[in-house]
Structure 1
Amino acid sequence: MAQNASFPISFEFFPTKTAEGAAKHVQVRQALYARQPEFCSVTYGAGGSTQSGTFAMVQAIQQEGVAAASHFSCIGATRQSVRSQLQQLKDMGVRRLVALRGDLPSGYGLGGEFQYASDLVAFIRAEFGDFFHIEVAAYPEVHPQARSPEADLRALAAKAQAGANSAITQYFFNADAYARFVDDAQRLGVGIPVVPGIMPILNATQLMRFSDATGAEIPRWIRLRLQAFGDDTASIRAFGLDVVTRLCEQLRSLGAPGLHFYTMNQSTATLALCDRLGL
């Protein structure tokens, strides 16, 4: 369904682990750049465990002429370490951050000088003013560690109040959950754009594992259809393309301000979605 080609989209990558993977990923990025993303973000491992890989990929994207957003987590960090890492990103010309609390590496006690993502956002604003455009995370189906849906919404409100510019959601497959979440957030006074995170369906087993870990719900009818396909990858991908295209169309009709694609470091499924959506 062809629609306005100027609709804002962005892509997420994760750091590659090998030189071969890095070389292969250049081709993936180039294929996706043709869709003129607003920016490309690069994830950060637990406790900043992939920081050097994250910064290297961010730098490569910037050098390729595309705006890059570095994920940046604060759990276990000190103000001094965060200040120097942010200065490093600023010196690289990075203007966007995805500010997160982050997950603790296993066996790591709760430490550091930041407890919540809102603390990190406030610190970035205090230290760097308006230099960075700050994205934060949002959870239409509730963060798995939130005490309640209301507490989760208050956490988003705190991040917005601390100076976040916009939010990107965890992926989901239920457009109603997104619509309700945005309405509830606006009632709490959250005025920042909330961009849906979109997960292409590539591999049923991987998707179910991710979803169990992140609290993203796979509707029962989708789960059963994926299980019925067994190892038939072509059918899984064709079905997934239909499901996710329909979801994106619903989100656009609901007034979503953009779409953020979790590419899984591949281009084929995301490009197919963009083609279907006329992006």
Structure 2
Amino acid sequence: MATPNISFEFFPPKNLEASFRLWDTVHTLAPLQPRFVSVTYGAGGTTRTLTREAVGALHGSAGLNVAAHLTCVDATREETLAIADEFAAAGVTEIVALRGDPPKETGEFKPHPDGFNDSCELIAALKDRGDFTIRVGAYPEAHPNAANENSDVEWLKRKFDAGADEAITQFFFSADTFLRFRDRCAAAGIDKPIIPGIFPIENWTGARRFAEACGTSIPSWLNAAFETAERDGRSDLLAIAVATELCSKLMSEGVEDLHFYTLNRPELTRDICHALGVTPKVELRDVA
């Protein structure tokens, strides 16, 4: 079985300590030669400026192929597309186009009066704006706002029809969840790449809370296994084993690309990649 193509998600630092953590993460994972790395926005666009700064640093200093997150939240069309223009001027032509999460205090997405109503409008505008590679989000389990299970497939098809090139899924804990979703997408006529999102479990309590918030199913055996592993001080070993088995099953079913949500904590992701046969190929170039 061939080694997979890999990519990583980072989030922008909010303070000096977090900046060092991000750079340590990049230094650890860049030698694995990811196909691209993405940099997130915070909820409500709260890290918009920090995202632009991180994207510039990773592209310019680390020499990575960076895909910048861009959302529809709390900005006009002109402001959003101006950010895309800034990315393009800096040589960053890959974008992860998302509707985005609303500010935590509002709890519900409401388009800016002069902004994009949804991700499909943003994708279409980016496609008209320039030569961008556009990735989008996909939900193998029902999005919290979805009317039904089929809504997520229908929305993904709309995103591709608007001009998206690839999709990255929300994380999941069972390979069958992704494989069933892939089958439903194929049946709907979707033939563009859908990359499974992998979430190495650094902290089970936090991971479970995150999963519950975004509607990700939690197998009962996984909860029991982590409770036992935490008691025995073997959480990292279990996390590596669980993620490696998940990825291996996906690869045995023809999956060639894997996207890791690193949370800027690289050790587990690195060890999982090593277990999958992805080993360092290059050294991170020195920062001038």
TM range (shorter): over 0.9
- What's the offset of the Cα at 1:24? 3.2
Q: Tell me the TM-score normalised to structure 2 length.
A: 0.91
Task: Map Cα deviations across residues 95-121 of structure 1 (whole Å, 9 max, x no partner).
Answer: 111110011113447232322211111
* Map 1:68-83 → 2, pairs under 5 A: 68-83=66-81
Aligned equivalent of 1:262? 261
1:129-173 alpha-carbon deviations (Å, 9 max, x no partner) = xx1110000111121210101111100000010000000000101
1:217 deviates by 1.6
The answer to whether the aligner puts 1:86 opposite 2:84 as a matched pair is yes
Distance 2:26 2:95 in 1: 19
Give the stretch that moved more between structures: 211-220 or 103-112.
Answer: 103-112
CA distance in 2, matches of 1:21, 1:118: 33
Q: The residue matched to 2:183 in structure 1 has which SS?
A: helix
Identity of aligned residues (%): 38
Q: Quick one: distance in 2 between partners of 1:25 and 1:121?
A: 28
Give the secondary-structure state (helix, strand or coil) at the position aligned to 2:275. Answer: helix
Misfit runs of 4+, over 4 Å: none
Contact 2:73–2:99 (CA<8 Å) still a contact in 1?
yes
Asked whether 1:58 is paired with 2:60, we answer no
Number of the residue aligned with 1:163: 163
Letter matched to residue 13 of structure 2: T
Question: 2 CA distance for matches of 1:44 and 1:142?
Answer: 22
Q: Which amino acid aligns with 1:40?
A: V
Gaps of 5+ in 1: none
Distance 1:185 1:195 in 2: 13
Residues 1:30 and 2:27 aligned together = yes
Which deviates further from its counterpart, 212-221 or 35-44?
Answer: 212-221
The answer as to whether partners of 1:193 and 1:257 remain within 8 angstroms in 2 is: no
Task: State the Cα distance separating 1:201 from its structure 2 match.
Answer: 1.3
Q: TM-score, length-normalised on structure 1?
A: 0.94
Matches within 5 A, 1:78-227: 78-108=76-106, 110-112=110-112, 113-128=115-130, 131-227=131-227
* Root-mean-square deviation over aligned CA pairs: 1.4
Q: Which runs of 5+ in 2 are unaligned?
A: 279-288
